[in-house]
Amino acid sequence: MIPTLSTLPALAAFVALVAAAWGLNVAALDGGIASLPWLIREQGLYLSGLLAIGLMSLAMVLATRPTVLERPLGGMDRIFRLHKWAGILAAVFAALHWLIEMSDDVIKSLYGKAGKPAHDEFGGLYEMLRDAGEELGEFAIYLVLAMVVLSLWKRFPYKFWRHLHRAMPVFYLLLAFHAAVLAPPDYWTQPVGVLLALLLAAGTVASVIALTGRIGHDRKVQGVVTAVSSPAPDVTEIVCRLDGAWRGHQAGQFAFVGLERFEGSHPFTIASADHGDRSLTFQIKALGDYTRQLASRVAVGQAVTVEGPYGRFVLGRQDHKARQIWIAGGIGVTPFLAWLDALRADPAAAPTVELHYSTRGAAHDPFVERLRSLCAELPSVSLHIHDRAAGDDLTPERLATTATDGQRAEVWFCGPRGFGDQLKAGLARLWGRRLSFRREAFEMR
């Protein structure tokens, strides 16, 4: 598993920034009497430590759901993805940092102790803080590595992982203390120290926000459940009406929905357009323990907390000069339901669109009739239902047969990750630079 291409530039730029700050410090070194093996070990220890705590600081800041970064990063879904990979890379560099620290005996056996940098002795309270920072840092590294392993192990239940993940800010604060007291004293008068201080300050503030339950606080609105139904055995439809603090949403955005105090909030796409009445509809598929039991645990009149809206997979961002192809797979149809609902307000202004919906069984799929009803009011939207139970699979080749020569195609996709990867790779091969493939990168772990 590797980070997607849209995530790589941001991570590469951040790593390059930290490495450049470290490099400026290295360039100013005179080397002293340190031999090359010991010098490489020492600077490798510093660089790996800087990258680990820097990436972890980035992950902590992104965990606070900063809406100011949605536009430059492409939406909250991509912020989640960047958060995930920053955390993974932080763990990789933390493990490398630990391995370099443990290489002391290996270098001694190969090159001897000659040229080993002297251990600085500071004495007093500062020395005690450094000793404590070293012990706490090693302990925290083990915990962070364990947490990353559990995050990547998809079979580990989400309901347990979610509660364990709440401890990450505590682990971060331990590692921040470790970095602050063990950083070379001369760092604090150089660019590398300024950068480190900024990262530690940002990560610490983000940790405090997380530990005090303030993430998304300014975007949380109270409301009440007004309707609950099950259009299909594995789908629960919930309609909520929110209070006056709701700022409205764009068709295609999502929100965090909290229905039970101790369960916490879960992200769901808003399946309805904003009609100005503060009413939201969610179509929730049974994909886990919580969502499977949702229909029996939610009742009309129940209080609900909604945090949002978030996301940039919204109607209105389309390239009107390109051929529009919208593709939904399974429950990925929800943002398109909101798009179609919004277009009904002015059918004449609706773009010319090919909407493809792939389903396991059209005969029992509640969204098929809903799509047909919505598209019947929108003459410019041509609906194509692909029933896999009848052998009607949607493939890149089928889409490419209807392409207009030389015209750019903009594909908007929401659905299973594997399905999206297959379509993107196939269409890129067939259409090359004429293809623009946009998708919702919705993963919470």
Residue 441 banded pLDDT, cuts 50, 70, 90: confident
Q: Phi first, then psi: what are they for 243, rounded to 5°?
A: -80, 180
Residue 263 banded pLDDT, cuts 50, 70, 90: confident
What is the Cα–Cα distance from 162 to 369, expressed in whole angstroms? 36
Q: What domains, with CATH codes, occur in the chain?
A: 8-211 (1.20.120), 217-310 (2.40.30.10), 323-439 (3.40.50.80)
Identify the pLDDT of residue 291: 86
Structure tokens at 384: 């194509």
Structure tokens at 182: 């063990």
Chain-wide mean pLDDT for the chain? 90
Query: Rounded to the nearest 10 degrees, how much is the dihedral formed by the CA atoms of 43, 44, 45, 49?
Result: 110
The 10s digit of each residue's pLDDT in 356-408 is: 999 999 999 999 999 999 999 999 999 999 999 999 999 999 888 765 567 78
Q: What is the mean pLDDT of residues 427-438?
A: 91
Written as one letter, the residue type at 295 is: A
The DSSP output letter for 68 is: G
Identify the pLDDT of residue 153: 84
3-state helix, strand, coil in the chain (%, to 5): 55, 20, 30
- State the helix-helix crossing angle for 36-63 and 104-111, rounded to 10 degrees: 160
Identify the pLDDT of residue 74: 87
What is the Cα–Cα distance from 139 to 144, expressed in whole angstroms? 9
The 10s digit of each residue's pLDDT in 84-116 is: 999 999 999 999 999 999 998 888 888 888 777
Residue 242 has pLDDT above 90, yes or no: yes
Identify the pLDDT of residue 261: 77
Residue 162 banded pLDDT, cuts 50, 70, 90: confident
Residue 5 has pLDDT above 70, yes or no: no
Whether pTM > 0.85 for this model: the answer is yes
The 10s digit of each residue's pLDDT in 114-157 is: 777 767 667 678 888 888 988 998 889 888 888 888 888 877 77
Sheet with 353-359: list strands edge to edge.
381-387, 353-359, 323-329, 409-414, 435-439
Identify the pLDDT of residue 150: 84
Identify the pLDDT of residue 202: 98
Asked if 445 contacts 420 with a C-beta cutoff of 8 angstroms, the reply is no
Identify the pLDDT of residue 59: 97
Identify the pLDDT of residue 105: 85
Percent of the chain surpassing pLDDT 90: 66
The 10s digit of each residue's pLDDT in 315-344 is: 888 888 899 999 999 999 999 999 999 999
Residue 1 banded pLDDT, cuts 50, 70, 90: very low
The 10s digit of each residue's pLDDT in 179-222 is: 999 999 989 999 999 999 999 999 999 999 999 999 999 999 99
Contacts of 104 (CB under 8 A, 6+ apart): 41
